[in-house]
Amino acid sequence: MSKRALITGIAGQDGSYLTEYLLSLGYEVHGIVRRHSVAENQNHRLHKLNLNSNVHTYYGDLLDYPSLVRIISEVQPDEIYNLGAMSHVCISFDMPSFTIQTNALGVLNMLEVYRTTVPDAKFYQASSSEMFGNSVDEDGVQRLTTPMNPVSPYGCAKVMGYNLVRHYRHAYKLHACNGILFNHESPRRGSNFVTNKVVKGAVSIKKGLQDKLELGNMDSYRDWGHSKDYVRAMHMIVNHDEADEFIVATGQTHSVRDLCETVFGKLGMDYENYIVQNPKYMRPEELKYLKGDSSKSREILGWEPEYTFETMLEEMIERWEAEL
């Protein structure tokens, strides 16, 4: 009998890639979709997934407890992947209350329904490198032991969700895991995220569709990987014999300036001729530097990324060259 997985946020970048990966392993996949999830790419992602008879979607919301009870009771999943969230860090400054409710109380709702409905299932929580904020070890790396000092409503909410998962695991003996994923991108990333914003903007400029690209802080450093690599890690984490916390990261860091130089360079352009810094894209408190230590994931789980920074960007460029 096929394993059943339930994914919140199935319409998102990671949810769609995770669905495809689980289907390749023979899973039956069930997903929760918010009624107003109509952002760029989401309808296309869902349409493609729903063509498979082993994918089933349901309307629900992390803040609507009865819908979670109904869906989880009906599905009876073997594995739960809680990927649903208000996922844009910059927007979390504009919508702090909604962010805290969705990304913290939403996790609590999921854990409670999990505990009371399918306690023998395995639970994966999508935690984030944003939880570290500007904390970094002396060697310039964030580890599981690095203090968490978030600098955004998004990061604060993710810390609460992270700690709730740890609490429920210890208090109720549940197989509940945290994956602390550093930044991960793909052609399916929304173009309001800086990587895809830069790629889409550069291709648009190359094709004569726009003249300039407005960005915020050019000197923020991020550890960027590919979503396809990271969803494989999610499956490894939740299926490890012992529920635990794991960091998933490339161990390399690049600035937004590096990103622009690489993308524009691949298109034969000098980014300095086209980028305009706009203060409205600056965060009230900036997260300056992220570089993750994923040695535990590599040594215990055997996880290794297949994409490099450059091959990830090349795939994203190909998407926009074909679509614009």
Q: Is 128 a catalytic residue?
A: yes
Choosing from 128, 129, 220, 227, the catalytic residue is: 128
Cα dist from 111 to 81, 117, 118, whole Å: 11, 10, 10
Q: Is 286 a catalytic residue?
A: no
Q: Is 186 a catalytic residue?
A: no
Of residues 249, 186, 131, the one with CA closest to residue 18: 186
Cα dist from 166 to 19, 77, 322, whole Å: 25, 21, 44
What beta strand segments (E) does the chain contain? 4-8, 28-33, 55-59, 79-82, 122-128, 175-181, 184-185, 213-215, 221-222, 225-226, 245-248, 254-255, 275-277
Cα dist from 53 to 23, 26, 28, 32, 42, whole Å: 10, 12, 9, 16, 19
Amino acid letter, 218: M
Choosing from 154, 162, 168, 271, the catalytic residue is: 154
**Token pair in block for residue 28:** 């039956």
The residue count of the chain comes to: 324
- Rounded to whole angstroms, the Cα distance separating 238 from 81 reads 9
Choosing from 130, 227, 289, 307, the catalytic residue is: 130
Contacts of 25 (CB under 8 A, 6+ apart): 235
Cα dist from 204 to 70, 116, 187, 222, whole Å: 45, 50, 15, 24
Which residues does the annotation mark as catalytic?
Answer: 128, 130, 154
